[in-house]
């Protein structure tokens, strides 16, 4: 039998499959990217056992749990755990503290002829390890922040580097009023866990310097950890430049073509429903900045957007969307970014197009490793 583990670092670095035996309500509040929920108790069973524990103690709670999870229910859950164990022979199981629940699952699996190890300390210890690891990274790794006007391709730069943290990727949001995806964002703890694991892997690869995209404190509904955000506010800026036409084309690809494709994947046999959802997504994004645009400009851009959507609906052609994108850049995003940059000029250490920026940051990473 493989030994139980508390080598959290290797579990995360190697994306080891994890069977989370906590109740669904616990799992949904926060888990790890490699974890799958196969609970010992469902939410109602957990609630009853918890209440019993408070009033009557541990043994009474264990006895109640055995009465609630027995017979066919017990056999079904053992079958689910056994299936996970067979599919993931290199994996581990865990509960909240690595205690009673994970030990019970281990015991029942052993009685079914399957020895399967658990994570000592459970979810609580693994979560604590990631928090401490992220704090250490923030304190010890210098940062560069990629900034630039909307549509310059900052995310593309992030993806081209081996020492970057992808805030928007982990938040599943592009960071603007139009930044939502067709599917939901992760909960805050899942966002933080995924970010910390990526930082762990960057450090393991030998990088002592981090690159992040310039973001506000909120990326959609996800909050950038405070210490990380505060450090980003004083880090050197790399200013990414691109032509207005290229920026319009990139936004068209990201927010029109790709977003329509996302909704089409959600409704593969219902193109009309998919297009309606996509249309509501675009018009909702514009509505969210209505007050900042002003009533007259909002009405004008909304009319252009609606006309472009009707053309796209009937012909599939997306070129007309360029008009409202150009209007938003000219009258909203570019003035806003120009104002923001006016207070950051002293932090800009390099400016250039995408190739130049990537090469500069790659050289910075090499120099940093050499110094280390």
Active-site residues, by number, are 95
Q: How far apart are CA 248 and CA 312, in angstroms?
A: 17
Backbone torsions φ then ψ of 101, nearest 5 degrees: -65, -45
Return phi, psi of residue 206, to 5°. 100, 5
SS3 labels along the chain? CCCCECCHHHHHHCCCCEEECCCHHHHHHCCCCCEEECCCCCHHHHHHHHHHHHHHCHHHHHHHHHHHCCHHHHHHHHHHHHHHHHHCCCCEEECCCCCHHHHHHHHHHHHCCCCCCEECCHHHHHHHHHHHHHHHHHHHCCEEEEEECCCCCHHHHHHHCCCEECHHHHHCCCCCCCCCCCCCCCCHHHHHHHHHHHHHHHHHCCCCCEEEECCCCEECCEECCHHHHHHHCCCCEEEECCCHHHHHHHHHHHHHHHHHHHHHHHCCCCHHHHHHHHHHHHHHHHHHCHHHHCHHHHHHHHHHHHHHHHHHHHHCCCCCHHHHHHHHHHHHHHHHHHHHHCCCHHHEEEEECHHHHHHHHHHHHHHHHHHC
Per the CB < 8 A criterion, the answer to whether 170 and 195 are in contact is yes
């Amino acid at each position: 039998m493989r030994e139980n583990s508390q080598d959290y670092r290797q579990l995360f670095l190697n994306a080891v499959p994890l069977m989370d035996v906590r109740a669904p309500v616990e799992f949904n509040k926060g888990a790890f990217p490699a974890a799958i929920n196969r609970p010992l108790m469902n939410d109602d069973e957990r609630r009853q056992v918890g209440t019993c524990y408070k009033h009557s103690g541990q043994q009474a709670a264990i006895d109640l749990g055995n009465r609630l999870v027995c017979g066919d229910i017990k056999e079904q859950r053992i079958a689910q755990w056994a299936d996970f164990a067979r599919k993931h022979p290199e994996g581990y199981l865990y509960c909240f503290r690595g205690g009673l629940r994970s030990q019970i699952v281990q015991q029942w699996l052993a009685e079914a002829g399957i020895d399967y190890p658990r994570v000592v300390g459970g979810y609580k210890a693994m979560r604590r390890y990631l928090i401490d690891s992220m704090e250490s990274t923030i304190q010890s790794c210098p940062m560069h922040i990629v900034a630039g006007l909307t549509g310059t391709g900052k995310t593309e730069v992030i993806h081209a580097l081996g020492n970057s943290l992808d805030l928007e990727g982990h938040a599943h949001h592009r960071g603007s009023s139009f930044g939502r995806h067709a599917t939901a964002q992760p909960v805050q703890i899942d966002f933080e866990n995924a970010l910390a694991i990526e930082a762990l892997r960057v450090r393991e690869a030998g990088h002592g310097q981090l690159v992040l995209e310039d973001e506000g404190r909120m990326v959609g509904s996800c909050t950038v950890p405070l210490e990380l955000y505060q450090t980003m506010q004083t880090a050197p800026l790399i200013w990414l430049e691109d032509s207005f036409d290229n920026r319009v084309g990139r936004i068209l690809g990201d927010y029109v073509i790709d977003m329509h494709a996302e909704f089409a994947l959600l409704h593969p046999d219902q193109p009309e429903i998919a297009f309606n959802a996509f249309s509501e997504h675009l018009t909702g994004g514009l509505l969210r900045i209505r007050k900042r645009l002003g009533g007259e400009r909002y009405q004008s851009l909304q009319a252009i957007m609606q006309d472009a959507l009707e053309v796209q609906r009937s012909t599939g052609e997306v070129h007309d969307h360029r008009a409202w994108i150009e209007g938003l850049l000219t009258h909203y995003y570019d003035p806003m970014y120009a104002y923001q940059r006016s207070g950051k000029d002293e932090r800009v250490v390099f400016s250039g197009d995408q190739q130049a920026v990537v090469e500069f940051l790659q050289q910075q990473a090499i120099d940093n490793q050499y110094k280390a």
